[in-house]
Structure 1
Amino acid sequence: MRRGPIPGSTGAVHPLRTYGDPVLHTPSRPVAAGDRGALPALVEDLYASMYAAHGVGLAACQIGVPLRVFVYDCPDDDDRRHRGHVVNPRLVRVDGVTVRGPEGCLSLPGLEAPTPRADLAVVEGEDMTGAEVRIEGTGYFARCLQHECDHLEGRVYTDRLTGWTRRRVLRKAAASN
């Protein structure tokens, strides 16, 4: 049984920043005590924006807010749904085999490339109230967690690509801007 409003139902949909925007290529700053009051609205806006764009994760920098916050609503490889948010996340463990799987990004709409990611990821941080959280993901969900943590470090998935694959995706990204 669901309690409370659906995440994002009271949030505003923001335009997404696209590849090349400086906020996507600059590490986000940690959420400080003075930022806490704005977190509930930010998390709601992130969910609303993610759902409007049909994504499975969204970092605050993707809506132009350079804070270390992301939301997710992502299945794992066993089709179990994982939904939540993380404030000041730290990717504390990546393990398992490296899988080169298809990856896209809401900030590079319509583009996708095989991107190497570890099959297990563990993220620690806080929720918007300051309570500690620890999230462990495998498969597709592990990919999502690593992808969103990369955003907060000022990286996009194309930074993990090499050679012809990287050139192809960046050429297409430049043509669509």
Structure 2
Amino acid sequence: MTLREIRVVGDPVLRTPCDPIREITPGIRSLVEDLVETVDEDGRAGLAANQIGVSLRAFSYNLDEIGLGCILNPEIVELSEEVQDGEEGCLSVPELWFPRTRAAFARCIGTDVEGHEVELAGEGIVARLIQHEVDHLDGHLYIDGLERSVRKRALREIREKL
């Protein structure tokens, strides 16, 4: 297992939709181990594979509500119409937090490294994590969904910081 370097905004891998995982190979098992080890650091809630430079549909998570784990080929199957507002941050947009509206509830399905179906679902931070990480796998960053005035400020702060 290896603690992997996080790619930051500006790296093209973050803007590339990830490919599905078609077979559980030793390389995929190693990727899962790296994702889990890398997310298992203080202050980290989720990590998509492309954030460590691998353009495959997998993300790891580390929240008290759902534990520590990884999901392969996650697909969001349910979002509530009710929304939540809150500050959101990202390892790929380091040390910057901005208000982002998300669905209050989200549910996704995928598989674990053994090929068994996995479901992640919840409200609050769990819903935010699911949407945030699946966005990464689709080639989007959370700043893409900010309100226009907030997005302008965010892009300015990102340019100044990086």
**Within the alignment, does 1:28 sit opposite 2:18 as a pair?**
yes
Identity of counterpart residues, as a percentage? Answer: 40
SS of the residue corresponding to residue 82 of structure 2 reads strand
Letter in 2 for 1:16: I
SS of the residue corresponding to residue 31 of structure 1 reads coil
Letter in 1 for 2:103: A
Q: Which runs of 5+ in 1 are unaligned?
A: 1-10
Question: C-alpha offsets along residues 44-94 of structure 1, whole Å, 9 cap, x if unaligned?
Answer: 11122223473100000000000000000114xxxx343321100101111
User: C-alpha separation between the residues in 1 aligned to 2:118 and 2:129?
Assistant: 17
Q: 2:31 aligns with which of 17, 42, 54?
A: 42
Q: How many residues align?
A: 162
SS of the residue corresponding to residue 155 of structure 1 reads coil
What is the aligned partner in structure 2 of residue 73 from structure 1?
62
The normalised TM-score by structure 2 is 0.94
Contact (CA 8 Å) 2:18, 2:137: kept in 1 or not?
yes
**Within the alignment, does 1:64 sit opposite 2:50 as a pair?**
no
User: C-alpha separation between the residues in 2 aligned to 1:95 and 1:132?
Assistant: 22
Please list every run of at least 4 consecutive aligned residues from structure 1 whose deviation after the TM superposition is greater than 4 angstroms: none
SS of the residue corresponding to residue 104 of structure 2 reads strand
**Within the alignment, does 1:12 sit opposite 2:8 as a pair?**
no
Q: Which runs of 5+ in 2 are unaligned?
A: none
Contact (CA 8 Å) 2:100, 2:146: kept in 1 or not?
yes
User: C-alpha separation between the residues in 2 aligned to 1:98 and 1:173?
Assistant: 26
User: C-alpha separation between the residues in 1 aligned to 2:67 and 2:124?
Assistant: 12
User: C-alpha separation between the residues in 2 aligned to 1:51 and 1:102?
Assistant: 21
Contact (CA 8 Å) 1:103, 1:115: kept in 2 or not?
yes
CA RMSD of aligned residues (A): 1.4
User: C-alpha separation between the residues in 1 aligned to 2:101 and 2:140?
Assistant: 14
Question: C-alpha offsets along residues 11-55 of structure 1, whole Å, 9 cap, x if unaligned?
Answer: 21111100111110110000122x532122111111222234731
